Amino acid sequence: MSRILPADGVEFGVTVPVLVIGGGAAGMVAALAAHERGAGVLVLERDALPQGSTALSAGLIPAPGTRWQRDAGIEDSPERFAADIVAKAKGEPDPAAVARVTQAVGPALEWLADRYGLPFSVVDNFSYPGHGARRMHGLPSRSGAELIDRLRGAVEESGIDVLCEAHVTALYADGPLVRGVEITRPDGSVEPVGCAALVLACNGYGGNRALVERHVPELADALYFGHPGNQGDALLWGEALGAATRHLSGHQGHGSVAHPAGILVTWATITEGGVQVNTGGRRFSNEAQGYSEQAALVLRQPDGIAWTVFDERIAAIARQFEDFRQAEAMGAVLTADTPAELARQMRIDADALAATLADTDRLKTEGGSDGFGRSFAGSAPLAPPYRAVRVTGALFHTQGGLVVDDDARVLDGSGAPLPNLYAAGGAACGVSGSKASGYLSGNGLLTAVALGRIAGSAAASAAREETSR
Ligand SMILES: Cc1cc2nc3c(=O)[nH]c(=O)nc-3n(C[C@H](O)[C@H](O)[C@H](O)COP(=O)(O)OP(=O)(O)OC[C@H]3O[C@@H](n4cnc5c(N)ncnc54)[C@H](O)[C@@H]3O)c2cc1C
């Protein structure tokens, strides 16, 4: 229920300077930033425990020029990162939006580490497709659950109020000026809460089947792997207030979700030299292009199923991820000493699989690209014991959204900022352009953390001005 109601005559029992809708990474970071600027902040979260898609993610955040990269001898810069983002999305994203987040994210991670003790480190033992430098940063468990737990801990220790089971079901506005929100509690009671500035941090519309059908029809029937509470409220409220929106068909898919286990299988299984085959035992794509666009390709295979095939050396790298360890613990990762035995366990044609793996090994030793355009340069041939996971394609989150400026203020159709509305994370238009293939690994948390900090700071300043009037 994403309604806009007239604010006229509404008695707000409580009014706070900065209201933040959503308790994922974007909302928590925005709240910390606004609080540091001296603003009173209230985070409203529909769930009993703030988690969002952030908790479901691998918690990996790309950032250039950080001290962790310097310590590891990795050369990088915001400009290099920006060039990678623009190249992946074929020039679609607004260069100003790309510059904004690539410049802000490194300092934001160092701020979270220094001020709130988040122990980031850089993933320096493998490269993500499309990134020209090793710049993915994560917490020790490499899980989004740890990221959101630590952010929530920082918010609580800072004394910031987080109201859970507070589903925002409407905004109160005078024209484009937001005066407050309506929250609906689990018992059905409703309550108006006033604000001077509002940060929309309630992610995109991946959980809203009708909006996915409209904007991302190729994944209308795909498994949605993100947080179900992300129903597109920010988009719907923004549109009703006259906000500009962009790239609504943009999204992150993933072509490697263990099925039926429902666990993400890291793409390192591919980048380190693994392949995907269909139930006929044959490859069907250049997997190295990226996991996002691979979702629709996997879904086009018989039964919407593929097998990710790799080996123990690659599994050892993948094991640094909690998700992968869980998939192994659940028995989703098959193991066999020969391709024939692996095929038997996969219940696919043994000759076809053996031929596919032999072709791949030949490419690895002889060089060159396969018929799909994939080069295996630098990858070792697969060696026993072999591994395989049955996977499907899924929608992770949407990347289109509200257009914002350098202060994360939501803009209207003419490019002018709405008076007191901010957006961060999946609520805002990302930097992935209009296609799945435009998603560069980490673009999701990039805009959550970078724009979250910008939005929180700017909303605090705006609230101060508003209350001093
Ligand atoms: C499986 C998976 C793996 C991923 N891995 C990565 C990764 O490694 N790196 C990366 O960069 N990105 C990754 N992503 C994407 C990343 O998770 C998201 O881009 C990011 O978490 C978005 O943060 P957010 O704060 O905008 O949204 P969320 O974390 O989803 O938070 C939004 C919150 O808003 C709440 N909410 C929604 N509507 C309302 C309402 N009306 N009232 C009150 N509360 C509301 C929701 O309950 C939710 O808690 C992954 C996504 C998935 C699904």
173-215, pLDDT tens digit by residue?
999 999 999 999 999 999 999 999 999 999 999 999 999 999 9
Each residue of 141-167: pLDDT tens digit? 888 999 999 999 999 999 999 999 999
Domain end among 395, 412, 433: 395
Residue 377 pLDDT level (bands cut at 50, 70, 90): confident
The answer, yes or no, to whether residue 1 has pLDDT greater than 70, is no
Half-sphere exposure of 411 (CA within 13 A, CB side): 17
The answer, yes or no, to whether residue 467 has pLDDT greater than 80, is no
Residues 271, 242, single domain; the answer is no
The span from the CA of 299 to the CA of 321, in Å, is 25
Ligand 1 atom showing the smallest separation from residue 47 Cα: 47
Residues 77, 118, single domain; the answer is yes
The answer, yes or no, to whether residue 458 has pLDDT greater than 70, is yes
Residues 39, 143, single domain; the answer is yes
Q: Six-digit token pair at 434?
A: 């209009």
How many other β-carbons are positioned within 10 Å of the β-carbon of residue 441?
25
Residue 7 pLDDT level (bands cut at 50, 70, 90): very high
Residues 10, 105, single domain; the answer is yes
Residue 469 pLDDT level (bands cut at 50, 70, 90): low
Ramachandran angles phi, psi of 297, nearest 5°: -65, -40
Each residue of 443-456: pLDDT tens digit? 999 999 999 999 99
The answer, yes or no, to whether residue 109 has pLDDT greater than 80, is yes
Each residue of 215-229: pLDDT tens digit? 999 899 899 999 999
Residues 50, 143, single domain; the answer is yes
For 275-288, give the DSSP string.
EEE-TTS-B-S-GG
What is the value of pTM for the model shown? 0.91
Q: Which of 202, 212, 324, 399 to mutate to test the pocket of ligand 1 (most atoms within 8 A of CB)?
A: 202
Ramachandran angles phi, psi of 402, nearest 5°: -75, 135
Residues 284, 241, single domain; the answer is no
Ligand 1 atom showing the smallest separation from residue 229 Cα: 47
Total domain count, the chain: 2
Residues 191, 275, single domain; the answer is no
Q: What are the residue ranges of helices labelled H in 92-190? A: 95-116, 144-157
Give the whole-number percent of the chain exceeding pLDDT 90: 92
Domain end among 395, 427, 453: 395
Q: What CATH number is given to the structural domain containing 350?
A: 3.90.700.10
In contact, 218 and 296? CB cutoff 8 Å: yes
Residue 267 pLDDT level (bands cut at 50, 70, 90): very high
Give the whole-number percent of the chain exceeding pLDDT 70: 99
Structural domain boundaries, residue 137 = 3-246+399-468
Across 66-95, average pLDDT? 98
pLDDT at position 397: 96
Spacing, Cα 235 to ligand 1 middle (Å): 14
Residues 40, 178, single domain; the answer is yes
Residues 92, 114, single domain; the answer is yes
Mean pLDDT of the chain: 96
Q: What CATH number is given to the structural domain containing 161?
A: 3.50.50.60
Spacing, Cα 203 to ligand 1 middle (Å): 6
Across 404-430, average pLDDT? 98
pLDDT at position 465: 83
pLDDT at position 289: 85
Residues 175, 68, single domain; the answer is yes
Residues 14, 144, single domain; the answer is yes
Contacts of 416 (CB under 8 A, 6+ apart): none
pLDDT at position 320: 87
The span from the CA of 312 to the CA of 332, in Å, is 14
Q: Which of 47, 54, 432, 441 to mutate to test the pocket of ligand 1 (most atoms within 8 A of CB)?
A: 54
Domain end among 369, 395, 421: 395
In contact, 288 and 131? CB cutoff 8 Å: no
Q: Counting Cβ atoms within 10 Å, is residue 282 exposed (0-12), middle (13-18) or buried (19+)?
A: middle
| CB-based pocket (< 6 A), ligand 1 | 21-27, 44-47, 50-54, 56-61, 144, 167-168, 201-203, 225-227, 229-231, 233, 264, 396-397, 425-426, 442, 444-446, 448
Residues 148, 295, single domain; the answer is no
Spacing, Cα 426 to ligand 1 middle (Å): 7
